Amino acid sequence: MRDEMVMERLALCRDRLAQIPQEGGELEPSFGGYFGQTARMAALFLAEYDFVAQGGLETASLEELGERNLRLYEAILPENYAFSYANPCYAVDRLGRQFGQMLSFLHAELRSLIASAYEQDEESIAIRLELFLETYHAFYAAAREGEGLPPVTEIRDILYWFASDYSEIFYEKKVRELFDWKQDCFRRIIMESDLSDLRYLYRFGEYVTENDLRMARYLNSLPEERIALMAATYTEGYRKGFEVTGKDIRKKRSVNIRSFLGFERVVRRAVENFDALGLHSVIYRAPASFLEGRKLEKIGYFGTIANKQFEYDHEYDQALFYDKKYVNHRLESYQNALEDMKELAGVHAGPAIIERFGEAPFVPESKEENLCFDDASRKLSVEYQSRAGELMNAYVKGEERSFTIIAFPGPEIGEQFEEIFDGVVRINTLDYKLYQKIQQKLIDALDQADFVWVKGKGGNQTDLRVALHRLKDPAGETNFENCVADVNIPLGEVFTSPLLAGTCGKLHVMNACMNGLKYTDLEMDFKDGMVENYTCRNFASEEENRKFVRENVMAHHETLPMGEFAIGTNTTAYVFARQYGIEEKLPFLITEKMGPHFAVGDTCYSYEEDLETFNPDGKRLAAKENEVSALRREDVRKAYLNCHMDITIPYDELGELCAVAADGSRRTLIRDGRFVLEGCEELNRAFEG
């Protein structure tokens, strides 16, 4: 039953909202225009709430649903964004810098009402409308009293206390969505809808494009055995992740499925597979509100991103009020929410992720009008991420959970979508026994090395020495994990946590796409395994280049350790990508298998360093920590960075990769982008084809 008090608050907001466009003349014209436009936007979202509540999704035609969906998102589409108050540039130009930044934030936050309307979440709607009305009344009162505009501090305080006061409510909602399989709104849509009737896509409240419709149509055209193969590859990889690490999946009762709009036929089959493993599927929307962690990189279930520049512009809106008191209150709220859900958190198995790729790499516009962290708030952000990660691990223990990730292309990848999709399915199901045998040859050679030397060629300036752990028992230990198709699909890499001391030199990639962002001439210099300097060539200003890398690669840290060194062996994926010209459209998951790669941040074994892991040959993994993660024994907050960014050197930029022994003898594994180690010849066949 709906909360009567909440419904009464919502009714009052509706009535007041309707009056604002008529009162605009009382305000200074530019502010009257802002509040009038924002009020009309909120009214549009309320009308959609009514439409859903009245069963409109069941009776409307596909065409009507498409038209309604477009109206919800059209104001922030790239062709309209220049004149939207959600665009900080436009808001600052019209309203001045301080008010413009704050009111652009407010306008953007109100767009989360779309998600609330489709979830019929009246409390979330009322909370945000009350924020808007309180802000409006501050401007209205100042105008009526002849003061012109309210003090900037008054508006900032309104926004601050909104964020602070409602942290508890939003963390409770977020944490419940993470673990409680009874919160089954999305799962019911997927499991109960007629997936041949594409109207179901509009029930999620996400932005729906022709590409989403085409994806669903394409999956509907595939035979059931093909769908079963894709779902089984995904869910069996998840099960194997527990098996190979010696974790007991029978202790767990839930799994989080993260996927994307249009892929519901595969997700439905995956839910059934997980049910057979005794795992309830938890499916939640990627955050739409900054309080819930809205980001350009979507974590959860999501549709097409209407405008990546909009998401990028509002990535750091919390900079408005990010102080120590606010951060501590958020952490307290987070811990309380986790404590309330500790029983369900304790039986949660971890995420199972289906990624979508195919869009052209996003090159964001850098805007001085965007809110951003200063040095103090940046440090607070790092502290928050560290402590939040620590809290999550206390309730969902790293040594008991696992994950899996698999990726598929969307129709936006180009005219050859169906061919490419079919090729990716083949790549995802390559013969793991063949790769396991070849990769063991690489590992045997690497285990005799003191360090690995990596050198670029052509325009690639990489010249890097990677120090390896000294094996105490070479007959029973190994430095490198033999990674085949379990948690990390597709197969094709051997990886380790390198020693930091002795790891030094330059890492350079001429073109890279990471988390949907494009980097040109990304460079990182290492000294004793720590990032000493970094830059790229995306922008004319070196300051902007460093800021871009600091925010999106370094996760606001001043420095990061090299957490992983790996050699990707999936030459089939590399040649396939080159054949179709889609290298820059691929996700980490595939590109990291297409050459040697290096991760900055945590190791691959965060919170699991003391859990024994073995390769298929029976050897124990000895290199599961570095000098930073080893600090967990004295202070866990110094040990984990809560980030891990993979950077791959493609084969065609690789001059040489050598295993160098303690006596200085060298064994070349790769030369000019080809594997030259005996026993690895099969990996070069893809290049010949």
- The model's confidence at residue 1, banded by pLDDT at 50, 70 and 90, is very low
Instruction: Provide mean pLDDT across the span 612-618.
Output: 89
Q: Which two tokens stand for residue 11?
A: 């009714």
Residue scoring higher pLDDT (645 or 294): 645
pLDDT at 360: 86
Contacts of 555 (CB under 8 A, 6+ apart): 382, 385, 601, 641, 642, 643, 645
**Confidence class of residue 407 from pLDDT cuts 50, 70 and 90?**
very high
**Cβ neighbours of residue 541 closer than 8 Å, sequence gap 6 or more:** none
Residue 224: count other Cβ atoms within 10 Å of its Cβ: 9
CA pair distance 115, 131, nearest whole angstrom: 17
User: Binning pLDDT at 50, 70 and 90, where does residue 18 land?
Assistant: very high
Residue 408 has which token pair? Answer: 């598929």
- Is residue 689 over pLDDT 80? no
Q: Which two tokens stand for residue 189?
A: 């849509």
pLDDT score at 2: 60
- How many residues does the structure list for the chain? 689
Q: How does the average pLDDT of the chain come out, rounded?
A: 94
Least confident of 209-213, 259-263, 524-528, 615-619: 615-619
| Residues 170-179 pLDDT 10s | 899 999 999 9
pLDDT exceeds cutoff 90 at 515: no
Angle at 262 between CA 261 and CA 263, to 5 degrees: 95
Q: Residue 283 pLDDT > 80, yes or no?
A: yes
Strand bridging mode 404-409 / 348-357? parallel
Report the range of poorest mean pLDDT among 102-116, 132-146, 346-360, 581-595. Answer: 581-595
Average pLDDT over residues 2-22: 91
Which of 104, 136, 110, 514 lies closest to 319, judged by CA?
104
